Amino acid sequence: MMGFSRTSVGDFVIVMIVMVSLIGKCINGENGEYEGVGGGAPMVKTEQEALYSAIQGFAGEWWNGSDLYPDPCGWTPIQGVSCDLFDGFWYVTELNIGSIDDNSLACAPHVEFRPHLFQLNHLKSLSFFHCFVAPIPIPSGNWAALSGSLESLEFRSNLGLIGNIPPDFGRLRKLQSLVLIENGLSGGLPDNIGNLTRLKRLVLSGNRFTGEIGDGYGNLSELLILDLSRNSLSGSLPLTFGGLTSLLKLDLSENQLEGKIPSEISNLKNLTLLDLSKNKISGGLTKSIQEMSSLEELVLSRNPIGDDLMDIEWENLRGLMVLDLSSTRLMGGIPESLSRLKKLRFLGLNDNNLTGNLSPKLAELPNLSSLYVYGNNLTGELKFTQGFYGKMGRRFGAWNNSNLCFPVGLMATSFGPFGVKACQEVRTSFRDSGSKMVNENKNLDSHFRTSLSSSKYRFDMIWCVFMLINFFM
């Protein structure tokens, strides 16, 4: 469905016909429904008027649908509106309000949710983007009318959208995607969202939600993406999160969450991203993290976790590309097993109390492009090559380790690692291993500083593929 959101109804119909003849199967599994398409199938009058009125509530009084778009599912399609045939009549199945592009249905400065919106009871997808500027709450009490059809509901970047999540969202039992991102919403997360067991994607990030995450959220066993980041949620992570076994991405960063990382989290065998950064998580790293074998990005930075790294069998996390444990009150040494994470691109261990040496084997990681260990208490000599320092530049950060130094050898001090002083003594063995690594590490300069944001993009891709697969079923 996503793929058709911006096409005109005419294109949509043609694609549908092709698809029906190719696959012999349409969206609803109702074969043969489309034979009369193109001949101007009718639209029930109440549906048509409800559509005009609903849109007028958002676009403003000047918007006269019957004037501008006399046949909204046929030869005068409305940008942002898609229709489908049910028993020979057109019904609106998708409505996108807000300024997506020049032709889209832009919102008036003052908008209203008209009751007519909830008469469009074939709606599968409803979205609002950059629409609400003046403060307005999401209406409550009407949503059950869409419970038989609505699969995707999205409010994105609406600064004027305030108030709570209406309780009757919990009755949208067909919902597969609920996205409330970057609005002004507040209050607690309703427990009954846990009833929406078909949800695949739940994104509530960038609002002002408070309170705890209810145990019921652990019942969403089909969830692929759970993103509650950038709110003010408190309390601990529910132990029931171990039930989110399908999850690919869990982002709870930038909240006020506290307590331990529950060991149940190791049930999330398919999880590729775990981001708990900028919370108040404490109580150490759970050893069960090492069982999350699909992890690609583990971001726990800026939490008072307080532990050492030695107990965890890091080499189990074979897919790990981003490991950010900066500012987590870590103590003890840096385990050499980290250098067996061959896919590692980003390693952040800065601003902790780590001690001991830094293994030069880390330089053998083929894709490592950022290595931060500054602000620790590392000691001894750094045994990387001049080539490594040259390749990494400031993306190798080892400053503010008062007892760390680098051997100068033949290299000029100016080619050494930034902010690290030269050792008094020179080791001759250093030069031999050095020149070898220069060759191995050439050309790897500019990969990835942005792995974190690229992963967000990747998950949007996963989501699209998922929706397309769904489309054919």
Ligand X SMILES: *[C@@H]1O[C@H](CO)[C@@H](O)[C@H](O)[C@H]1NC(C)=O
The two three-digit tokens of residue 360, written as one number:
């030069």
CA distance 299 to 292: 14
Window of 62-70, 91-99, 113-121, 407-415 that interacts with ligand X by CB under 6 A: 62-70
- Site for ligand X contains 303 (CB under 6 A): no
- Site for ligand X contains 357 (CB under 6 A): no
Cα angle 193, 198, 202 (rounded to 5 degrees) comes to: 55
- Site for ligand X contains 352 (CB under 6 A): yes
Kindly tell me the burial class for residue 125, based on how many C-beta atoms sit within 10 Å of its own C-beta (0-12, 13-18, 19 or more): buried
Q: Cβ distance 384 to 409 under 8 Å?
A: no
- Site for ligand X contains 212 (CB under 6 A): no
- Site for ligand X contains 440 (CB under 6 A): no
- Site for ligand X contains 450 (CB under 6 A): no
Which amino acid is present at 361?
K
Smallest separation, CB 271 to ligand X (Å): 10
For ligand X, the nearest residue by Cβ is 216
CA distance 362 to 199: 41
With respect to ligand X, which residue has the nearer C-beta, 66 or 433?
Answer: 66
CA distance 115 to 45: 16
Residues contacting residue 370 through CB under 8 Å, at least 6 positions apart = 345, 346, 347, 348, 392, 395, 396, 448, 449
Work out which of 22, 24, 67, 432 binds ligand X, going by CB under 6 A: 67
Which residue is listed with tokens 């960063």?
A: 253
- Site for ligand X contains 215 (CB under 6 A): yes
CA distance 50 to 58: 13
Work out which of 195, 255, 326, 441 binds ligand X, going by CB under 6 A: 195
CA distance 250 to 247: 7
Window of 146-154, 211-219, 381-389, 461-469 that interacts with ligand X by CB under 6 A: 211-219
- Provide the sign of the torsion angle of the four alpha carbons 413, 416, 421, 427, taken in this order: negative
Work out which of 57, 72, 74, 170 binds ligand X, going by CB under 6 A: 170
- Site for ligand X contains 400 (CB under 6 A): yes
CA distance 445 to 199: 41
Work out which of 164, 357, 377, 470 binds ligand X, going by CB under 6 A: 377
The two three-digit tokens of residue 69, written as one number:
């778009």
Residue 299, SS3 per DSSP: strand
Site string for ligand X, 216-245 (x = CB under 6 A): x--x-------------------------x
Smallest separation, CB 386 to ligand X (Å): 21
Window of 134-142, 249-257, 274-282, 366-374 that interacts with ligand X by CB under 6 A: 366-374
With respect to ligand X, which residue has the nearer C-beta, 62 or 472?
Answer: 62
Work out which of 6, 343, 421, 458 binds ligand X, going by CB under 6 A: 343
Window of 60-68, 77-85, 119-127, 140-148 that interacts with ligand X by CB under 6 A: 60-68
Work out which of 366, 429, 435, 471 binds ligand X, going by CB under 6 A: 366
**Which helix (H) or strand (E) is 81 found in, with range?**
strand 81-86
Smallest separation, CB 377 to ligand X (Å): 4
With respect to ligand X, which residue has the nearer C-beta, 182 or 364?
Answer: 364
- Site for ligand X contains 194 (CB under 6 A): yes
Size of the site for ligand X (CB under 6 A): 28
With respect to ligand X, which residue has the nearer C-beta, 34 or 52?
Answer: 52
Smallest separation, CB 432 to ligand X (Å): 26
**How are the residues of the chain apportioned to helix, strand and coil, as percentages rounded to the nearest 5?**
30, 20, 50
- Site for ligand X contains 76 (CB under 6 A): no
- Site for ligand X contains 443 (CB under 6 A): no
Residues contacting residue 456 through CB under 8 Å, at least 6 positions apart = none
- Site for ligand X contains 182 (CB under 6 A): no
| Residue 358 DSSP symbol | -
- Site for ligand X contains 293 (CB under 6 A): no
- Site for ligand X contains 152 (CB under 6 A): no
- Site for ligand X contains 191 (CB under 6 A): yes
- Site for ligand X contains 72 (CB under 6 A): no
Kindly tell me the burial class for residue 326, based on how many C-beta atoms sit within 10 Å of its own C-beta (0-12, 13-18, 19 or more): buried
Q: Cβ distance 434 to 410 under 8 Å?
A: no
Report residue 102 CA to chain centroid gap: 27
- Site for ligand X contains 419 (CB under 6 A): yes
Q: Cβ distance 170 to 146 under 8 Å?
A: no
Q: Which residues bind ligand X (CB under 6 A)?
A: 64, 66-67, 170, 191-192, 194-195, 215-216, 219, 245-246, 270, 329, 342-343, 351-353, 366-367, 374, 377, 379, 399-400, 419
